[in-house]
Chain A
């Protein structure tokens, strides 16, 4: 294994054509990652890893995926200078990586298309997925429709209520949405249910996990399919600014959009990588999803990472106004980037995120997803810290159509009390 100077072994990008990880490091990021799953899933994970590693060195797979990205997703996505928004960011030059303009409205499609192609290569005809905000579920249903696969999406009951529009979208696309009523009825329980389905139907079914967590090879594989974000951003910012940005920032739920962006700059130590996690109602209230601020290393959903847990190792329910960030675990590579200091992670509260949501909408004519608004709030904070000479790229990971009702409710309450 060749580790780039200054970068810990195990987190170097798996470049197409190169051996992904050495066998001793395989699936781990320092002490994080690995596989903590029922034995019944080990064969399926091995099969998936083989299919993925074979695809990595197969030019026809890369070509097929590149065609889909261009002709179906609409890549490359633009990098937009946010000239009016950046006035709220201490005058730093702020660029938005427009994943919101992808087909289905978020970055999620990048991973879904890659895994759906792998599903077909493995000879499987059915995909299952978990979803929080519904973006990954919609993307999965979309890819399933495109490739003629059966699709079942597990979604916490609470999330089906607050994201009803996305439930309807999935059903229109031909997917079956299963509301999950066990446990806390949110994303973590949807993942449990998806795992149970997978272990029962593993011969016919691929679990199309939507973020950079779960047992190996999911974290490495999902990062790879999103690395197109970082690759494009790097080329675009070099073309526009003639230099690398001072910081690349993103919101972090499971952390897939962040890993996609970070992967383009991980070997550039001069680029600060900052992830913003959900501070909910404030970390002092206990109602948040700030895994790095308040969690501890542990095992959840097949991987070792930072987990919100009590003193007995029971998972503590998370909270965020954004369903997509409302998750008590985080991708294991983020855990390692956190521990090594290569990336930093800060909480952004519901109200800070909603303020940024409003600011971007009114300064740029772009309504972001509430998940994404956490990254925008972070950029406002970071821009003031770095000053007017700084260049910041923000991953605009999704559009806010799905959140209009939540936002209307939020601002309606505020305007009633404030006017």
Chain B
């Protein structure tokens, strides 16, 4: 497990809380502004940052993320830009930077090259929502060689046998998708999540993050009671999309990150 990833989850465990994991795509609204947004999230208490790599066919994502990545792609963001965003971020002690990407951009960039350049840029891990362990042979080798963590997803529909396989190849953390569906803020986080986390827990000691649908500090608190990490994406993006000015977007993102950071500390 990557050192920074280890530090994130150790610090959370020592604080008797869950880690806060936040997602926003690089290049949204622009490359420079995304650095500001992501840095603001770190500064306001996000422990592990997921820097999204915009992709033309985000078939696991709901409207908010679709809109944000479409804007980023229209503005011309590239994989190299994403790595550059990672390089420009300044995580503090016990913070880590991951990239979240659909598989094709990584394969096109070069599997080994991507893992190596991400490590060089200071990245600690990669989440690949459409890569299954069965297809991940070269990726496992590349991440082992470069020392970045690899996170795969489990879902409520995953059999115990699959949970065993998926959690077995995850380093860093296991991403538990709480709901059968696409990304997007929801009023109620699925009650399938606690059971899913318990099932994953029986197969691995790797930390477990829960995502899909988290939109408030209260929800973060309830998830923090049983998970090691609380993952929030669309609700951050919605705030950026809805803000009348970029300064307001930064203010709203910071305030929301602080609300969530308080939430993950009140759940345990």
Residues of A within 8 A of B (CB): 34-40, 42-44, 46, 182-183, 188-189, 191-192, 195-196, 199-200, 202-203, 296, 298-302, 304, 307, 309, 311-315
Q: How far is the CA of A188 from the CA of B58 in the complex (A)?
A: 11
Contact B60 A38 (CB under 8 A): yes
Residue of chain A at shortest CB distance from B63: A182
Which positions in B face A, CB cutoff 8 Å?
55-60, 62, 66, 70, 73, 78-79, 103-109, 129-132, 134-135, 152-159, 162, 166, 177, 180-182
B79 A40 Cβ-Cβ under 8 A: no
Q: In the complex, are the beta carbons of A40 and B162 less than 8 A apart?
A: no
Are A39 and B108 touching (Cβ within 8 A)? Answer: no
Q: How far is the CA of A333 from the CA of B258 in the complex (A)?
A: 51
Known: A183-B70, A298-B108, A312-B79. A40 touches B130 (CB 8 A): no
A199 touches B107 (CB 8 A): no
Closest chain B CB from A50 CB (angstroms): 12
In this complex, which of A34, A191, A196 has the most chain B Cβ atoms within 10 angstroms of its Cβ? Answer: A196
The answer to whether A313 touches B177, judged by C-beta atoms less than 8 angstroms apart, is: no
Is there contact, CB below 8 Å, between B104 and A298?
A: yes
In the bound complex, how far is the Cα of B73 from the Cα of A311, in angstroms?
Answer: 13
Q: Give the nearest-CB partner of B128 in chain A.
A: A36
A contact face: mostly helix, strand, loop, or mixed: mixed
B108 proximity list for chain A (CB < 8 A): 296, 298, 309, 311-313
Give A255 Cβ to nearest chain B Cβ, in Å. 19
Query: How many Å from the CB of B169 to the closest CB on chain A?
Result: 12
Known contacts A309-B104, A312-B105; can you find 13 more A-B pairs with CB under 8 A? A34-B135, A36-B135, A38-B129, A39-B157, A40-B157, A40-B180, A43-B158, A196-B62, A196-B181, A199-B181, A296-B108, A299-B104, A309-B108
**Cα separation A35 to B132 with both chains bound (whole Å):** 7
Cα distance A136–B60 when bound, in Å? 24
Taking the nearest CB of chain B, how far is it from the CB of A128, in angstroms? 13
> Among the interface residues B109, B157, B166, which one has the most CB atoms of the partner chain A within 10 A?
B157
Chain A residues contacting B182 (CB-CB under 8 Å) are 196, 199-200
A40 to B178, CA, bound (A): 10
CA distance A304 to B104 in the complex (A): 9
By beta carbon, the residue of chain A nearest B60 is A38
Q: Which of A35, A39, A195, A314 contacts B155 (CB 8 A)?
A: A39
A329 to chain B: closest residue by CB? B57
Task: For residue A220, give the distance in angstroms from its CB to the closest CB of chain B.
Answer: 16
Q: Pick the residue among B57, B60, B135 that contacts A183 (CB under 8 A).
A: B57
**Taking the nearest CB of chain A, how far is it from the CB of B245, in angstroms?**
26
B56, B153, B156, B177: residue with the most chain A Cβ atoms closer than 10 Å: B56
B180–A200 CB distance below 8 A: yes
Once the chains are docked, how many angstroms separate the CA of A43 from the CA of B132?
12
Q: Please determine whether A202 and B66 come into contact, CB atoms closer than 8 angstroms.
A: no
Q: Which chain B residues border A195 with CB–CB below 8 Å?
A: 59
Contact of B157 among A44, A183, A300 (CB under 8 A): A44
The complex places the Cα of A35 from the Cα of B103 at a distance, in Å, of 11
Q: Are A199 and B60 in contact, with the CB atoms below 8 A? A: yes
Q: Report how far A304 CA is from B106 CA in the complex, Å.
A: 13
- Name 24 interchain pairs, CB-CB below 8 A, sorted by A: A35-B132, A35-B134, A35-B135, A36-B103, A36-B130, A37-B130, A37-B132, A38-B129, A38-B153, A38-B155, A39-B158, A43-B162, A44-B157, A46-B159, A183-B70, A188-B57, A189-B57, A199-B60, A199-B181, A200-B182, A296-B108, A299-B107, A307-B104, A315-B57
Query: What residue in chain B is nearest A296 (Cβ atoms)?
Result: B108
In-complex Cβ contact of B130 among A38, A46, A296, A307 (8 A): A38
A42 near B56 with CB under 8 A, answer no
A315 touches B103 (CB 8 A): no
Residues from chain A with a CB closer than 8 A to the CB of B156 are: 40
* Inter-subunit contact B59/A301 (CB<8 Å): yes
The reply to whether B180 and A301 form a contact with Cβ atoms under 8 Å apart is no
Q: Nearest Cβ distance between residue A263 and chain B, in whole angstroms?
A: 25
Most A-side CB within 10 Å, residue of B62, B79, B105: B105
Q: Across the interface, do B59 and A314 meet the contact criterion of CB distance under 8 Å?
A: no
Chain B, residue nearest A193 (CB): B59
